[in-house]
Amino acid sequence: MYVPYKSKLRRVWREHFPARTQHAASVASSWSRQQRLVAWATLILTACVVLMPNLAYPLIEPDETRYAQIAIEMNEARDWVTPTLDGRAYLDKPPLMYWLTALSFQMFGTNETAARLPSMLAALATISLTFGWGSRIVGRRSAWLGAMSLSLCGGFMLAGRFLILDSLLAFLTTTCLLSGYIAVRGKDHRPGWWMVSGVACALGVLTKGPLAFVLCAPPFVVSGWLRADHSRTRVLHWVAFVMPMVAVCVPWYVAVAKFNPQFLDYFFWEHNYQRFMQGSNHEQPFWFYVPVVFAAMFPASLLLPSVGVFLVSSSNRKRSLRSKDLGFLVCAAFWMLAFFSAARCKLPTYILPALPFLCLTMGVMLDQTVFRAGSVDRITNYLKPFPQRATLILLASCAAVTGVNIFLNDSVFLVDVLASIVCVASCIFVVIHWNRDIAFGRLAWAGTTAVAVGVLMLVSTVLLPTISNERSVFVETQRVAGTHPKAVIVFFGENSHGARFHLSTQQTLAFPIECEEEFVGFAAEQDDFILVTDDARIERTRQKLEATHRLTASPRHQHVYQATRVIRTAGSVACAEKVSR
């Protein structure tokens, strides 16, 4: 195939990533069994203390409640082919996450923790793979530093605590790309690893459609083409790669298309192609992911400028530290960021699959500069005071998080007091030891990591549940229903997908917006009831009900109203759907 400037592009790539493997560019150092156990223990502990505690806060509307409702209906209908929402086919996404959530509900009950368990385990598995399989590519220390950096990416860790598809997709794309590269990086290709890569990509297609293949295939092709060596994939490679996709994905796609003739046009054309080209209701500018990456990777993103310098430096010494293995990681991360930036439809969580590869690149940078014995260069000198500066930034973030938590709760809890005391004490300690040797060694980096973990724990286990409780319409409806235990709860034009988790003891009905007259007829026959509706239509709703009820807004949520009877008239009821008993 003719490509303009092919020879020049390949020469520039080889000069930029000259070392054959990252192991050859690194200082050889074998880890003992005890060191490996300590590395695994610290990594898993760090990830678990952020990911696992307090997963039982209210589901975030609308995404978490929607996906949980689909899994609930899947269990109730025992239809594992067509996902449904409110009894109607929901064909926006393939079913793998719905299947996992439904199984989690069967095993652990229908609750918030069970709903979030698949995403949490996917995030934890991604961190483990980044270290375990990343070690085969860039060496143990670089991979461990990269995996620790990933566990300190606030956006990645928080996404692992939500019932969304992106954490599972990130796990599968990481599995696919790392195992696939392990398969082809040596002169003797390893077909077992390549089949693992194909299976992971197939499961990704079953999670979020053809996007998984689009994210995973180009890095293999482009990296192999630029290197023009044994890592280049051939036609037979791709035949073997696609075989698991045919075996795993095609049966479901055929089955759902058989039962839902509109599926092929809606899913592939409208929900994939047109959303990419036109943006749907999430259209954002091209540069949208530049600040998003920094925010999603915070506090690890404080090291991104140094990573950029390490990658673009033209000095012979820096180039000698960059390998073809690192080039593949950069190629994978760059492709994902470029693809999502080119798409018109953008959401912050879309770039989660790129973060493991950015963090592995960061791990290589740290291993080759700051943690390389005897290293003296501009990056090492620049990062020498990094622990103190980063710690102060983290302490300021901790103070801000504590302040927001106090503001939202309108009261001070013990955790707020403890966090404030730790912030002040840590700040005093940093200032006292600012220019001492302890502030510049590995112990200082460990201390900064501990502070970062503490801040992420505060955000994930304290602030996030507080925000969820404050904005949840179901929490406020449950509070109002506590003072009116016999009142019927009516959702009018508002999704009732999270009702099962909070309103299981009350009679709950839902009227779609097109059933306005039926809703008014039903209300006319009721005494007092609780109304949950869109505040944009509240004035029209007040007018429709003014003959029979007076609506009083809840002071804590703009969608919750107490409907108080003023006069009784006869009416009729129809088109109501009981969603909970």
Residue positions counted in the chain: 581
Phi and psi dihedrals of 252, rounded to 5? -70, -45
Dihedral of the CA atoms 261, 267, 268, 270 (nearest 10)? 110
**Sign of the C-alpha dihedral computed for residues 343, 349, 353 and 357 taken in this order:** positive
Q: What is the C-alpha separation between 299 and 6, in angstroms, rounded? A: 39
Give the CA distances from residue 233 to residues 4, 202, 222, 225, 246, in Å, rounded to whole numbers and listed in that order. Answer: 21, 18, 10, 9, 19
For residue 124, the model assigns a pLDDT of: 97
Looking at residue 285, its amino acid is P
DSSP 369: T
Residue with tokens 């047109």: 274
Q: What is the C-alpha separation between 164 and 179, in angstroms, rounded? A: 24
Q: Hey, what long-range contacts does 331-334 have (CB within 8 A, 24 or more apart)?
A: 331/219, 331/222, 331/223, 331/226, 332/177, 332/219, 332/223, 332/357, 333/357, 333/358, 333/361
Looking at residue 271, its amino acid is H
Q: Burial level of 419, CB count in 10 A (0-12/13-18/19+)?
A: buried
Indicate the pairing of strand 488-492 with strand 508-511.
parallel
Residue with tokens 């005890």: 34
Q: What is the C-alpha separation between 303 and 359, in angstroms, rounded? A: 10
For residue 279, the model assigns a pLDDT of: 67
Cα-to-chain-centroid distance, residue 97 = 13
Please give the helix or strand (H or E) that residue 550 lies within, else none. Answer: strand 549-553
For residue 580, the model assigns a pLDDT of: 43
Contact 59, 489 (CB under 8 A): no
For residue 555, the model assigns a pLDDT of: 85
Nearest C-alpha neighbor of 49 from the set 467, 455, 395: 455
pLDDT tens digits for the chain (581 residues)?
A: 556 677 888 888 888 888 877 765 565 567 888 999 999 999 999 999 999 999 999 999 889 999 999 999 999 999 999 999 988 999 999 999 999 999 999 999 999 999 999 999 999 999 999 999 999 999 999 999 999 999 999 999 999 999 999 999 999 999 999 999 999 998 888 999 999 999 999 999 999 999 999 999 999 999 999 988 888 889 999 999 999 999 999 999 999 999 999 998 888 888 888 888 876 677 888 999 999 999 999 999 999 999 999 999 888 888 888 899 999 999 999 999 999 999 988 999 999 999 999 999 999 999 999 888 777 778 888 888 899 999 999 999 999 999 999 999 888 999 999 999 999 999 998 888 888 877 788 889 999 999 999 999 999 999 999 999 888 888 888 888 888 888 899 999 888 888 888 886 678 888 988 888 999 999 888 888 999 988 778 888 888 888 888 998 888 888 899 999 886 544 444 455 554 43
Dihedral of the CA atoms 218, 221, 225, 230 (nearest 10)? 150
For residue 219, the model assigns a pLDDT of: 96
**Sign of the C-alpha dihedral computed for residues 13, 18, 24 and 29 taken in this order:** negative
For residue 567, the model assigns a pLDDT of: 62
Query: Which residues, at least 6 apart from 423, have a Cβ–Cβ distance to it below 8 Å?
Result: 395, 398, 399, 402
Helix (H, G, I), strand (E, B) or coil at 511: strand
Nearest C-alpha neighbor of 545 from the set 579, 511, 496, 501: 511
Give the CA distances from residue 470 to residues 22, 477, 575, in Å, rounded to whole numbers and listed in that order. Answer: 48, 12, 31
